[in-house]
Amino acid sequence: MITRPPTSVFLEKTFQLYEMILVRHGLMIVGYSYGAKTSMWKMLAAALGDLNAQGLLEVGRSPGTSTAHDPFSESICFQTRSL
């Protein structure tokens, strides 16, 4: 297996993907065949996994996404749609 250092364009697109992950709930990576899409997300996943294993990655929710009735702290009755 031949491994080459990443190009500046590859790194830029990887940073853009990471920034999109931070602000979007879901996304799709589209592009030409052999455009390094798979390599990009696999490298990003490995890097984030390494950072998490070292305790350097802070995973949390954005404060702007919290509501008065946080759905993760209270249960909702689905029949009446009330707390």
What range defines the domain where residue 14 resides?
A: 8-22+38-54
Domain-located, residue 1: no
pLDDT digits (tens, 9 = 90+) for 55-75: 888 766 555 555 555 555 555
pTM assigned to the model? 0.65
Domain-located, residue 12: yes
pLDDT tens, N- to C-terminus, the chain (83 residues) = 568 898 999 999 999 999 998 888 788 999 999 989 999 999 999 999 999 899 888 766 555 555 555 555 555 555 665 65
As for how many domains the chain has, the answer is 1
Domain-located, residue 45: yes
Domain-located, residue 16: yes
Residues in the chain: 83
40: exposed, middle or buried (C-beta count within 10 Å: 0-12, 13-18, 19+)? Answer: buried
What pLDDT is attached to residue 64?
A: 58
